[in-house]
Chains A and B, each alone.
Chain A
Amino acid sequence: MKNKVNLEKIAAVALALGVWQFGAMALDKSILLVSPLDVAALLTKLVGEIEFWQTVGYSFSRITAGFALGLLSGTIFAVTAHRLPIFEILLWPFIAAIKATPVASFIILCLIWLNSSALSIIISFLMVLPIVYTNMLQGLKSTDFKLLQMADLFKASWPRKLIYIFLPQLKPYLLSACSVSLGMSWKAGVAAEVIGIPDGSIGEMLYEAKIYLSSADLFAWTVVIVIISIIFEKLFNHLLKSAFNRLERI
């Protein structure tokens, strides 16, 4: 069944690439729509260059740092808000503002306040924080009250409550938050780099593609972003699920 689904997905991707190739050939203007074969050729050339890996490393490290910071802060804030309801109330305007404010406003504000090299960290952090905070708080609030009562009667220690009650309860909320926010952090992080143009970032490459009207570069770097984002999301979720499975086997 899984193999059938995988085959169907591969067939769908092949069909989409075929449509793209056909469209590029029909239009015959690479400045408007470059063919997937040209993009593949450029990508092959790029991956052989040291600068490519430096550029990927630059953006990856910053966006991942922002994600990690958002995940950590969101979790700490959610735990604090769960224990102290006043903290949830006090935090509410900030979280609501971060959710509602356009990402471009934050980017410009950060450019006024900070160095552009820290931009993608901050923007990625701001995208992840409300998602993780909201999901984790919801997870904590839906913790089985009767299980906690049982734990109190048996005088179970706090670390045991965390491992046996809270973490299994938070698992679906955390997985969902990470899945959504990982994609968001990449999209917003690269968008911030395009506006802030920090030296040696993927955003700078996209900006240059726009300046020189190089569709091939634009498509190639977009493919790179999509691939890194998907690999990172799959890898992170796999590690998270493995950690939870290991926990259940203790």
Chain B
Amino acid sequence: MKEIIINGLYKSYGENHVLRGFNATIPLGKITCIMGPSGYGKTTLLNILMGLEKADSGQITGLPNIKSAVFQEDRLCEDFNAIANIRFICKNNACLEDTQAHLTAVGLTDEDISRPVRELSGGMKRRVAIVRAVLARADIIFLDEPFKGLDTETKLLVINYLKKETTDKTVIMVTHSLEEVKAIGGSLLDMTNYNTDEKAINKRNEIK
């Protein structure tokens, strides 16, 4: 199977119907960017795909098993340094071999790497979370607004790092910026109309 197929996904929180029969086909081995206004269910969709939440109904097929993610929040172990945070998710020591090189590639210095994560700036923490997601060697990587808190120069550095390290991998990224979609070279899955336009609700969401 070469794609993830999402059929009729429903998810509500009380009276708030976040996903109403969402359909989409996401290609494997490519970068897909999900865009749409706040509250349209982008993160909910990502959480369902990650297995963190259950859909009320609907079907998802073709989803790879080994997953990694950059969450909306960094979700790092704050008392430990960057290397220890990456060691935490390594199944074996193989992914530790070039950890230092990966962290340097996203612009972190040796000093940044040796400090407990709680002492790092928001942007530095974000980069540790991104490297952690890459080094998990997963089949699919979920990125929820991964460049939040990064300045333009660092964002470009991290985008290039991600493009290099995720070649032929399935990446699903939630973003608010069309510029980021273009820079990372991903296909666009626009969620803008599907929840408000009744015709679009049951229509398969096309990737542009």
Q: Point out residues on A near B: beta carbons under 8 Å.
A: 146-147, 149-151, 153-156, 160, 164-165, 168, 248, 250
Cα separation A164 to B78 with both chains bound (whole Å): 9
**CB of A243 to closest CB in B, whole Å:** 13
A153 and B80 contact, Cβ closer than 8 Å, known pairs A146-B73, A164-B88: no
Tell me which residues across on chain A come within 8 A of B66, comparing CB atoms: 155
B71-124: which have CB < 8 Å to A? 71, 73, 75, 77-80, 84-85, 88-89, 91, 116
Between-chain CB contacts (< 8 Å), 20 pairs: A146-B75, A150-B71, A151-B88, A153-B52, A153-B67, A153-B68, A153-B69, A154-B88, A154-B89, A156-B88, A156-B89, A160-B88, A164-B84, A164-B85, A164-B88, A168-B77, A168-B80, A248-B80, A248-B116, A250-B84
Q: Is the CB of B80 within 8 A of A164?
A: yes
Q: Is the CB of B79 within 8 A of A248?
A: yes
Cα separation A197 to B52 with both chains bound (whole Å): 60
The residue in chain B whose Cβ has the minimal distance to the Cβ of A248 is B79
Cα separation A139 to B7 with both chains bound (whole Å): 41
Closest 6 CB pairs of A and B: A154-B89, A150-B75, A168-B79, A164-B77, A164-B88, A248-B79
The residue in chain B whose Cβ has the minimal distance to the Cβ of A168 is B79
Tell me which residues across on chain B come within 8 A of A149, comparing CB atoms: 52, 75
Tell me which residues across on chain B come within 8 A of A156, comparing CB atoms: 88-89
Judged by a CB distance under 8 angstroms, whether B37 is at the interface is no
Cα separation A149 to B80 with both chains bound (whole Å): 18
Judged by a CB distance under 8 angstroms, whether B181 is at the interface is no
**CB of A236 to closest CB in B, whole Å:** 21
Tell me which residues across on chain A come within 8 A of B136, comparing CB atoms: 154
**CB of B67 to closest CB in A, whole Å:** 6
Tell me which residues across on chain A come within 8 A of B185, comparing CB atoms: none
**CB of B199 to closest CB in A, whole Å:** 35
Tell me which residues across on chain B come within 8 A of A150, comparing CB atoms: 69, 71, 75
Judged by a CB distance under 8 angstroms, whether B51 is at the interface is yes
Q: Which of A149, A150, A151, A160: most chain B CB closer than 10 A? A: A150
Cα separation A29 to B130 with both chains bound (whole Å): 75
The residue in chain B whose Cβ has the minimal distance to the Cβ of A149 is B52
**CB of B162 to closest CB in A, whole Å:** 18
Judged by a CB distance under 8 angstroms, whether B50 is at the interface is yes
**CB of B137 to closest CB in A, whole Å:** 11
Q: Which of A156, A165, A168, A248: most chain B CB closer than 10 A? A: A248
The residue in chain B whose Cβ has the minimal distance to the Cβ of A146 is B75
**CB of A159 to closest CB in B, whole Å:** 11
**CB of B170 to closest CB in A, whole Å:** 15
Cα separation A44 to B85 with both chains bound (whole Å): 54
Cα separation A149 to B69 with both chains bound (whole Å): 11
Tell me which residues across on chain A come within 8 A of B78, comparing CB atoms: 168
**CB of B48 to closest CB in A, whole Å:** 13
Cα separation A117 to B84 with both chains bound (whole Å): 48
Q: Is the CB of B50 within 8 A of A153?
A: yes
Cα separation A165 to B85 with both chains bound (whole Å): 11
Tell me which residues across on chain B come within 8 A of A153, comparing CB atoms: 50-52, 67-69
Tell me which residues across on chain B come within 8 A of A165, comparing CB atoms: 77
The residue in chain A whose Cβ has the minimal distance to the Cβ of B142 is A153
Tell me which residues across on chain A come within 8 A of B73, comparing CB atoms: 146
**CB of B69 to closest CB in A, whole Å:** 6
The residue in chain A whose Cβ has the minimal distance to the Cβ of B88 is A164
The residue in chain A whose Cβ has the minimal distance to the Cβ of B75 is A150
Tell me which residues across on chain B come within 8 A of A146, comparing CB atoms: 71, 73, 75
Cα separation A15 to B85 with both chains bound (whole Å): 51
11 new A-B contacts, CB < 8 A, other than A164-B84, A250-B84, are A146-B73, A147-B77, A149-B52, A153-B50, A153-B67, A153-B69, A164-B77, A164-B88, A165-B77, A168-B77, A248-B80
